[in-house]
Amino acid sequence: MSKNVDGPIGAVAALVRSTFLVNAVYADSARDFGITQQQGQLLCVLMAQPYGMGELGAVLGLAKSSLTGLVDRSERNDLVQRRPDPHDSRAVRVALTRRGAKLADEFYTETCRRVEELTSAFTPEERDTLAALLGRVVTDNKVPTVFLEPDRPH
């Protein structure tokens, strides 16, 4: 296995390395807003709608204990609240508080701006091609909606 390769990289390395890049941007953005990367992810997911704990765990890929801790910390910071599930009296749904919705909107806007900067040297056609190809990867692998489309209202 080579340690450093100059020139074009393949699809696997490009996807893995771009994941690290986007995660770093996400983490930096979260830090600038005084939240953890996981709280930023939680806020962005909840922008679309409230979720039950089971659904939320599946979307975020977190074990029940990790999710409970994340929601507890976010609730203590007045970012989310647990509400009774209208369809199941034994369950709760997690929703953004007013403060959480405001922070989510600001965090989302800034994070979108930072991620958009990653392709600032691309032509519009190149961006469209990248979006189409990555969109197929996401769709073909049934990735849940964990981040709203920046061009759509939230």
Distance between CA atoms of 80 and 18, rounded to whole angstroms? 30
The answer to whether position 98 is within a domain reads yes
| 101 in a structural domain | yes
**Is there a domain that residue 48 lies in?**
yes
**What per-residue confidence (pLDDT) applies to 90?**
87
Please state, rounded to an integer, the average pLDDT across all residues of the chain: 90
Average of per-residue pLDDT across 80-106: 93
Q: 45 with 146: CB under 8 angstroms? A: yes
3-state helix, strand and coil shares in percent for the chain, rounded to the nearest 5: 60, 10, 30
152 assigned to some structural domain? no
Alpha-carbon distance of 50 to 133, in angstroms, equals 30
- Would residue 2 count as lying in a domain? no
Number of Cβ within a 10 Å radius of residue 51:
19
Structural domain range at position 93? 11-140
Is 27 among the domain residues?
yes
What pTM was estimated for this model as a whole? 0.84
Q: What is the CATH number of the domain that holds 57?
A: 1.10.10.10
In a domain, 135, yes or no: yes
Q: Indicate the number of domains in the chain.
A: 1
pLDDT at residue 154 is higher than 70: no
User: Is 3 a member of any domain?
Assistant: no
Res 148 pLDDT > 90? no
Q: Which pLDDT value is given to residue 3?
A: 61
Residue 62 has pLDDT above 60, yes or no: yes
Whether residue 122 contacts residue 102, with contact meaning beta carbons closer than 8 Å, is answered with no
